[in-house]
Structure 1
């Protein structure tokens, strides 16, 4: 659970059947183009997340804000999923994807609060030493968000479905980014 100025985030395991209709509306939305499921049918979404639920090294979660579903989070072991053969994994590496539910009424700072909650959840596990991401090189918005929470881009890599920007964030880099963000917000609030 992560409390923020926006509300309280909680994260629960995704139910591939119960949550499929909601997920389908998110992943097929035009704002979710980088999720690469634009043409997916409901059955495709069910099948995809049933496969993840059955996988040993890939997990999906639903993020809630004050009890309402607002984001999808996936974690994976990059030794076995997504990045096999594309970089040399270190002990404690955890891969991550996240998708914020599309909305017509965006809230300033919301997506940043979501990625912060996702990272806090991943680093709550003491075995996690570094988070690995591989977003599409064209997704400039997510690169900025990643950097805001401490990710450092390493290099571009070619995956079967996209050209990706391989980036890493250690626990220490995340902690520094969060402290710096809190300090900036405090200065801004005092200036008002």
Structure 2
């Protein structure tokens, strides 16, 4: 499959059913749009659209398949660009009324003044079922505060095992996923990455198998850290850590809130570096973090203050620069991304390339 996929080609993308895949084909003739959906089991569905007064009016099939097809159609129309497309659902009388009611209850659609339903991309992308394959993911774990080393914070949910996020990347023509790390099965890959000079320059964790096994076991056993491998079409290419900021070393350096989260990243494979890949994994990781707990309103980071390229990437991804501060091992820049900005500005999609 080509790295850049034309809109009229089939692409693998997650189905509405958790952990399954479908395929969609987008045909845009200018005045009309037709999106064919290949559903699991060999069934198909279709969403058509026509342009009216600057709006794209979509017509799904009047069935449960219509919801699955419509979800994939909205993803297809909003995943590749930050353009604020006005998507409207055609009048939902008769057999479509149940579908319209469901869309409103899920927050995907809002009533418009003309009686039709306006589909909200910023709300659609906050529905965890479309991207989080595990049952119960994306719900708020019951709150109970505890103390860890003198820091008061909510008890964190038990950590998952296996794949926690899936998303089709249209401009790369494949599926990006995050899965939890297996300290034994993933040790050789992790150790090779940590000993890569480009990774070690940032992480400073080069060492032996023994040291790296202990490192992974410690991270996997820590309730506030979720170690992940990033994969593209099943091939691992990077190591990510998602952490709760209040219990982390960053917590004392700003007014950390209960559900703030942060992250670290190491891209271990040279073939997966570069702008097209950053625009895939960086917003997808932020998307996963915001979906994982609906109470997370802020994501923080602490890049080394001299790491110009990383800070530039974070600028493009919507992070604000807050302040410089000092760790024992480095001077860092505190950066922060707001949930409101991420979804309102549609930062789940790449920005338009500049000339």
Larger Rg: 2
Structure 2 residue runs without a partner (length 5+): 1-165
TM-score by length of 2: 0.49
The alpha-carbon deviation at position 179 of structure 1 amounts to: 6.7
TM-score by length of 1: 0.88
How far off is 1:177 after superposition? 5.6
Which secondary structure does the structure 1 equivalent of 2:219 belong to?
A: helix
Matched ranges for 1:143-158 at <5 A: 143-158=311-326
RMSD: 2.0
Tell me, yes or no, if structure 1 residue 67 matches structure 2 residue 234: yes
Corresponding residue for residue 248 of structure 2: 81
Q: 1:134 aligns with which of 279, 297, 302?
A: 302
Uncovered stretches (5+) of structure 1, i.e. residues with no partner: none
Give the equivalent residue in structure 1 for 2:208: 41
Q: Secondary structure at the match of 1:92?
A: coil
- What is residue 335 of structure 2 aligned with on the other side? 167
SS, match of residue 90 in structure 1: coil
Question: Deviation at 1:92?
Answer: 2.2
- Secondary structure, counterpart of 1:119 in structure 2: helix
**1:181 maps to what in 2?**
350
Indicate conservation of the 8 Å contact 2:279/2:350, yes or no.
no
Contact 1:78-1:93 at 8 Å conserved across structures: yes
Deviations 1:74-106 (A, max 9, x none): 111111112132111023200111121231675
Say if 1:86 and 1:161 are closer, same or farther in 2 by CA, change over 3 A: same
> Structure 1's 54 and 102: CA in aligned 2 closer, same or farther, altered over 3 A?
same
Q: How big is the shift at 1:178?
A: 1.9
Structure 1 residue 111, shift from structure 2 partner: 2.2
Within 1, Cα distance between the matches of 2:217 and 2:325? 28
Aligned to 1:2: 167
Q: Distance in 2 between matches of 1:23 and 1:174?
A: 30
**Pair 1:25-2:170 in alignment:** no
Q: Any runs of at least 4 consecutive aligned residues in structure 1 with deviations exceeding 6 A, and if so which?
A: none
Change (3 A) 1:122 1:180: closer
Query: The residue matched to 1:85 in structure 2 has which SS?
Result: helix
For residues 124 and 57 of structure 1, the distance between their equivalents in structure 2, rounded to whole angstroms, comes to 17
- The number of equivalent residue pairs is 185
Q: Relative contact order, CA 8 A, sep 6+: which one is greater?
A: 1
Give the Å deviation of 1:160: 1.6
Q: Which has the higher helix share?
A: 1
- The answer to whether the Cα contact below 8 Å between 2:226 and 2:243 also exists between their aligned partners in 1 is yes
